[in-house]
Structure 1
Amino acid sequence: MTKKLARTLMIQGTASDVGKSWITAALCRIFTQDGWRTAPFKSQNMSLNSYVTRDGKEIGRAQGMQADACGIEATTDMNPILLKPTREMASQVVVHGKPLREYEAREYRDHYLPLAGGIVRDALARLRDSHDIVVLEGAGSPAEINLKDRDIVNMRMAAWADAPVLLVADIDRGGVFASIVGTLELLEPEERERIGGFIINKFRGDVSLLQPGLEWLERRTGKPVLGVLPYLPGLALEEEDSLSLQSPVRTSETAACLDVAVVKLPRMSNFTDADPLRHESGVRLRFVERLEEWGEPDVVILPGSKNTAEDLRWLREQGLAGLALRHVERGGRLVGLCGGYEMLGDRLLDADGVESEHKETAGLGLFPFQIAFGLEKKTVRVEGTARMNGAALPIDGYEIHMGVLEPLGRLEQPFLVRTRGSALSPEPEGARTADGRVWGTFIHGVFHNDSFRTAWLNEARADAGLEPIPAEDALRFRALREQAFNRLADHARAHLDMDSIYRLAGLDRGVMP
């Protein structure tokens, strides 16, 4: 007897950042809540915001988040190809979690994409073989006519998966009806047939005032509007796209708050490292990229970077490196995460041009080490402890970097970590000044550890003359994130026509799997 393959449903959008990732996550959680074995899938993802699977492979962060919504471990089959931009018109191509090589855009399109179709189809087939439904996510817009002949992520992927498509449009941008109708007009007839309906996202106001437009859209296209999703603020889930950082960040309602400035590097990676700080009461989190935005922060964070040397040069050109060093000289707090940590040493060496054409770049000189970029990328989940105020606080996270740290003097290392699940003894990691105000680490997700984050924030609050966070008021970010999945699912159930979506997906809503 032939085993029945999982059903498929695809979420595409009229543009980037219209909410595809969150709607995919919402449907993943809904199908999972309803008892279906559900998995996410995105054939090709371009993002500097990545995630490390249990077996030490790198995929797009959004697919890791969506796997969490399904309550399952993420695998590289959920995002078999990841593109990580390294410079203008070039990206590192990561295939099934491991770097293949850097490709120029045209070279990738002409020479690798013809091979990529088989890779993504095989990955999807494996997911379909072990689940009841796979929720696919597209990228950008399916109507990019200059890209369609080599498409492996939108309508051609939908055809390979035999997936009905829900088209998402962002009304907050304006022009929602034009974007939907224009997208349909640029699709081939067989592609238009795949569109099962529309979802209008990020609506604000009285939906009854939108009703005449919805009726016109349905008459004009002959396709249903399957829901209007109101704008949902304050959701503790990762954003897929750094475009989201253009939106206002959460600011504490209290007047006395800790001012935390994250430098928005041009090649910033894993910007979600700061996500827990968005949801802390008494913290004002902001992203800065110009001198006039600097202000008087209590804490400065240098985030990860896909090209540390180029971003460090940009930091100097903008005058922000000087401000960061003066901030430290005046007793301010500075944190470097991964690429930001690499900047804190004496120099960066890249003899093989792994990240940059610059063979040597002077660091900020805050710690006695140098970074040598190698050809092997380290991708690993880690666990261990952080020493803070005499206490050993539990931490876990993940590392993704090609830089190898070489000490040039004594380093005070605040972390002890090992590969997650390993029986090996933990090893020292990171660097910290004697007063603890400046530190750095390769560990992404370090602020997702509640006890560590709270202790660190209370140290910073004490420096700023602010009251500490009481233990009973401390943020439990991971519990908040799980609540966010359920809140997102409840929101989608309340505003989407789930009966029609179930029918499109070919699932019987009245029958438990």
Structure 2
Amino acid sequence: MRARAIMVLGTGSHVGKSLLTAALCRIFAQHGYRVAPFKSQNMSLNSAATVEGLEIGRAQALQAEAAGVAASVHMNPILIKPSGDHSSQVVVRGKIWGRVTAAEYHRRRIQELLPVVQESYDILASQYEVIVLEGAGSPAEINLKQHDIVNMRMAEMADAKCLLVGDIDRGGVFASLLGTLELLEPEERKRVRGFAINKFRGDASLLKPGVEMIEDRVQRLCLGVVPWLPSLMLEEEDSLGLPPSTQSQWPIAQTRNSEDRPLRIAVIGLPSFSNFTDFDSLRAEPSVSLLFCRTAEEIAQADVVILPGSKQTVDDLLWMKRSGLDVAILRYAPTGLVVGICGGMQMLGETIEDPSGMEHEGSVAALGLLPIRTIMQMEKVTRNAQGEMAEAVLFGQPLKDAKLDGYEIHIGHTEYKAGAKHFSILSADRSASAGKDGCISADTTIFGTYLHGIFDDDSFRHQFLGAARAYYKLSAPRELNLWKQLREDSLNRLAREVEKALDMRAIFDWAGLPYTVPVSEDTSALSQNEGVTQ
């Protein structure tokens, strides 16, 4: 039996489509249905490795987690990773398809990629009862609709009932809802069964007249108003969700020399920053103050400087040199702690060579803080991996548990110079040995690794923070998070609030499925008490 399809469309980018899709996946799963997410085309520098060792958008991995199923490459068959202002790397079914300009991609995607999208969707639809699709940007981009394979063409292909979502936090939500529907063709408009308003904060009574007027104007019902949900420990789809660092230095209270002050972590805000979600778990720790920084002043005041992953490693390295951040890092390194993740590790080495022009043709001198050299290659490495540190010592502090867990997504091959010490030994996909990973300085104050997601592991993150604080003679953290539990709690909170806010009976009816109103904890407790009394 082919799955029923519900689609979440947005009036624009960053209106909350990804998290609402995740919420619907969790709600359908909680009601006992086999559900999977799907987004035919995703543009993002945040990606994840599937169990097959293939690359998909990070948002679809989160949505699969919400649905309680393993992430599959079929949930996001096309991933576009911008390489600059005019070109992008296109990943199809988890593998590099090519590097093309926007114009080239628009010309080719209908003929060459629509069949791939159709096949992936059909595979999922044959395996699940419900598919929750996510659109991209707005379905009303009239200059792009002719070659669209992610919004209304996909809705037709899946025969999906659509929910249109507007973001009131940005302002102009009624105009954006009306404008989107007006720009759709009549047959497309019929697929939009209702709309919702997202990220609301304030007095709901002030919103009611506008909702009633727009319902009358568009002849569609508002299925609900979703409240602003602060402090969700869930990643945004792309760097629009990245909180910018507007400070030139840490607050004075955090620079005082007290033993219980927060550990100051500076993550370099590279222009082609990829997988910024690597640091969500660190940002959430009570004992940490983390900034995404672009100034020498922030680096000078940091306790730990992290060079993150990059889609354009050499270009970002050259940007650091033009900005003087390379000099700031080299001045900082002799007395501080430095970490490189993926492309950031490559920058910490001596040279980065790109003979095939995968990112930036030629050879460039790197920072020289680790005795390694990297050669860019045509084949991308994408896999989940686990292992352990070569030595259970970090920042001069012994560790009780040296195990590591994460995933690799990179095109570089790193070679070790004489005397270099590797950081860890990994096993790809928890089976065959993948050998050496990363590099660590002799005094263990500088290390690099290809592992993304390394800080999501509670044991490693807790020991990392403990070792860094001990290095600076700061007190041990008074409180430590359990990250995976926080994420699970956040997914359940998201689903609970969305289920309360939206007319879920209508959404389930669109899918032809019965809906049972959840019994609240208060109602459940009351029923139990009444039973005891009787």
Letter in 1 for 2:303: D
Letter in 1 for 2:142: I
3-state SS of the aligned residue for 2:402? strand
Measured against aligned partners, the alpha-carbon deviations of 1:320-355 in whole angstroms (never above 9, x if no partner) come to: 1111111113x1111110000000011011111011
2:502 corresponds to: 496
Letter in 1 for 2:450: F
Letter in 1 for 2:461: R
3-state SS of the aligned residue for 1:269? coil
1:382 corresponds to: 385
Q: TM-score, normalised by structure 2?
A: 0.91
1:240 corresponds to: 237
1:508 corresponds to: 514
Which of 295, 301, 304 pairs up with 1:299?
304
Asked if residue 484 in structure 1 is aligned to residue 490 in structure 2, the reply is: yes
3-state SS of the aligned residue for 1:87? coil
* Larger mean Cα displacement after TM superposition, 502-511 or 200-209: 502-511
Q: How big is the shift at 1:293?
A: 5.5
Q: Distance in 1 between matches of 2:58 and 2:443?
A: 34
Cα contact 2:401–2:459 (8 A) shared by 1: no
Q: Distance in 2 between matches of 1:56 and 1:28?
A: 23
Letter in 1 for 2:326: A
Asked if residue 412 in structure 1 is aligned to residue 425 in structure 2, the reply is: no
Task: Name structure 1 gaps, 5 residues minimum.
Answer: none
Q: How big is the shift at 1:135?
A: 0.1
3-state SS of the aligned residue for 2:470? helix
2:468 corresponds to: 460
Cα contact 2:300–2:332 (8 A) shared by 1: no
Cα contact 1:258–1:298 (8 A) shared by 2: yes
Cα contact 1:264–1:287 (8 A) shared by 2: yes
Cα contact 2:299–2:305 (8 A) shared by 1: no
* Larger mean Cα displacement after TM superposition, 292-301 or 195-204: 292-301
Q: Distance in 1 between matches of 2:274 and 2:309?
A: 5
* Larger mean Cα displacement after TM superposition, 288-297 or 482-491: 288-297
Which of 127, 146, 150 pairs up with 1:153?
150
Asked if residue 32 in structure 1 is aligned to residue 35 in structure 2, the reply is: no
* Larger mean Cα displacement after TM superposition, 214-223 or 35-44: 214-223
Cα contact 1:338–1:442 (8 A) shared by 2: yes
2:450 corresponds to: 442
2:270 corresponds to: 265
Q: Per the alignment, do residues 467 and 175 of structure 1 end up closer, same or farther by CA in structure 2, a change over 3 Å counting?
A: same
Q: How big is the shift at 1:189?
A: 1.1
Q: How big is the shift at 1:463?
A: 3.2
Q: How big is the shift at 1:291?
A: 4.7
3-state SS of the aligned residue for 1:233? coil
Cα contact 1:394–1:449 (8 A) shared by 2: no
Q: Distance in 1 between matches of 2:445 and 2:179?
A: 53
Cα contact 1:114–1:150 (8 A) shared by 2: no
Q: Distance in 1 between matches of 2:23 and 2:9?
A: 14
3-state SS of the aligned residue for 1:410? coil
Which of 364, 389, 399 pairs up with 2:408?
399
Q: Distance in 2 between matches of 1:101 and 1:380?
A: 20
Asked if residue 5 in structure 1 is aligned to residue 14 in structure 2, the reply is: no
User: How many residues in Structure 1 have an aligned counterpart in Structure 2?
Assistant: 502
Q: Distance in 1 between matches of 2:204 and 2:446?
A: 50
Letter in 1 for 2:515: R
2:340 corresponds to: 336
Measured against aligned partners, the alpha-carbon deviations of 1:173-219 in whole angstroms (never above 9, x if no partner) come to: 11111111111111111111111111111111111111111111111
Cα contact 1:349–1:372 (8 A) shared by 2: yes
Matches within 5 A, 1:173-252: 173-246=170-243
Q: Per the alignment, do residues 371 and 12 of structure 1 end up closer, same or farther by CA in structure 2, a change over 3 Å counting?
A: same
Letter in 2 for 1:60: G
Cα contact 1:58–1:98 (8 A) shared by 2: yes
3-state SS of the aligned residue for 1:110? helix
Q: How big is the shift at 1:420?
A: 2.4
Letter in 1 for 2:268: V
2:324 corresponds to: 319
Q: How big is the alpha-carbon RMSD for the aligned residues of Structure 1 and Structure 2? A: 1.9
3-state SS of the aligned residue for 2:216? helix
Letter in 1 for 2:215: E
* Larger mean Cα displacement after TM superposition, 502-511 or 78-87: 502-511
Asked if residue 283 in structure 1 is aligned to residue 288 in structure 2, the reply is: yes
Q: Per the alignment, do residues 364 and 427 of structure 1 end up closer, same or farther by CA in structure 2, a change over 3 Å counting?
A: same
Q: TM-score, normalised by structure 1?
A: 0.94
